[in-house]
Amino acid sequence: MDAKTIRSTKGRGRLYDSILETVGDTPVVRINNIAPAGVRVYVKVESFNPAASVKDRLALNIIEAAERAGTLKPGQTVIEATSGNTGIGLAMVCAQKGYPLVVTMAESFSVERRRLMRMLGAKVVLTPRAEKGTGMYLKAVELAAQHGWFLAHQFETSANADIHEATTAREVIADFAGDRLDYVVSGYGTGGTVTGLARVLRKERPETRIVLTEPSNAQLVGSGVAQERSADGGPATGHPSFEPHPIQGWTPDFIPKVLQECLDTGGYDQLIPVSGADGIAWAKKLAQREGILTGISGGATLAVAMGLAEKAEPGTVILAMLPDTGERYLTTPLFADIPEDMDAEESALSLSTPGYQMG
């Protein structure tokens, strides 16, 4: 850009009838400062969704698919089990559409997530940390049955992968039209993103390798052990290979039914585990070197993408999915060493001039 040129904007050329119309069409952004030379690495920044995560997509489609089918009645309470992002997305949708929302969430997930949901009008019922994701899931099932509420079923519903097939995948196809796309990297929470992407990329970009990733200390898919399921496809029990991990939003203690489609149809080419420590490290590098704020899950996805980039041939193009923003990780290990008060260097800067110093 010329030194005298001032950046300008023109607006989107339309007026939106509600916040829900702004879901999707998130940007794909190149990584410039931390990617290896000769390889193009991009990230799809899902925090540009209105409630700041990829889960806004499925939250909106779950509710609207149920409205179309008549399974969700006007004013009926919606309930769902969530680690946070789906609950925040549902809270946004339900607030706009006028549905009461109850969320069940294990107490181990970050406090800011429950506060965000409550800010958006939802009720949050906490479940014991020791019962993991299965506990919060089964609590939601109990409450739905007891009170006649609509259970969103994010881990089982076809509305989940369908919206990624119709939006996320179409955006990727359009953004890389006429260009290379050698790898797409994604983790899984419900599995909707990777399953929806696979449905489209397998047909329209068969040369693109789909890389699935999961925590290295909780390799459910990598174990090869099948998930025990109840009659509706939900988990009957927790998966035996699960261990607690810091990548919130990824890999509950069961293999979701939505992901099972991708596993059964060969919807991914390679499975690469990643450590929580690497996810944290790369999320920090992304923020401090690229100015892109993402959570531990986004950092973990980028870590895998960077591992591929280091070994890739010149000209290779890699896309990593960034599920959410870093701001909902303030009370997690991602921010553990980020101080509230001035450090020594900052104090020295303050003392370098005489005025306005802290006491």
Catalytic residue selected from 55, 132, 139, 257:
55
- pLDDT bracket for residue 281 (50, 70, 90): very high
pLDDT over 80 at 2, yes or no: no
What CA–CA distance (Å, rounded) separates 78 from 91? 9
297 catalytic per annotation? yes
Q: How many residues does the chain have?
A: 359
Q: How many CB atoms lie within 10 A of CB 123?
A: 14
Give 97-108 pLDDT, tens digit per residue. Answer: 999 999 999 998
pLDDT digits (tens, 9 = 90+) for 111-161: 999 999 999 999 999 999 999 889 999 999 999 999 999 999 999 999 999
Could you give the strand order of the β-sheet that contains 317-322, starting from the edge strand earlier in sequence? 28-31, 40-45, 317-322, 183-186, 209-215, 270-274
Query: Angle at Cα 153 formed by Cα 64 and Cα 200, nearest 5°?
Result: 70
158 is catalytic: no
Q: How does DSSP classify residue 290?
A: I
**Res 109: pLDDT:** 86
Backbone angles phi, psi at 353, to 5 degrees: -130, 155
pLDDT band at residue 331 using 50, 70 and 90 as cut-offs: very high
Across the range 213-227, mean pLDDT stands at 97
3-state class of 47 per DSSP? Answer: helix
| Nearest CA-CA partner of 215 in 137, 156, 297 | 297
Identify the H or E element spanning 204: helix 192-204
Which string of b and e fits 242-265 if b means at least 16 CB within 10 Å? beebbbbbbbbbbbbbbbbbbbee
pTM for this entry: 0.94
pLDDT of residue 1: 58
Q: What is the pLDDT of residue 4?
A: 79
Instruction: Give pLDDT, residue 300.
Output: 98
Number of H helices, E strands in the chain: 12, 10
- Domains of the chain in sequence order: 19-48+168-335 (3.40.50.1100), 55-151 (3.40.50.1100)
Q: What is the mean pLDDT of residues 285-307?
A: 98
